[in-house]
Amino acid sequence: MGGIGFREILIIALIIIILFGAKKIPELMRGMGSGIKEFKDAVKEEDKKPSESKQNSDPTL
């Protein structure tokens, strides 16, 4: 009962094609991919900042 089946995925895909058109979908996916890549890069950069700040912090505190 739970979860999305093949029929639901097919219906969603058809609705997306009808709404955006077949030519617009690759452009949308490209934009989504670049957005995800930028997000991952930002997360990696934020992970590096705390370790750098620990090394540069004043040890007398």
| 34/42 Cα distance (integer angstroms) | 12
Pair of tokens at residue 3: 């979860």
Burial class from Cβ neighbours inside 10 Å (0-12, 13-18, 19+) for residue 25 reads: middle
| 41/58 Cα distance (integer angstroms) | 28
Q: Please tell me the predicted confidence (pLDDT) of residue 46.
A: 81
Q: pTM above 0.85?
A: no
| pLDDT tens track for 6-36 | 999 999 988 988 888 888 888 888 999 999 9
Is the model more confident about 50 or about 9?
9
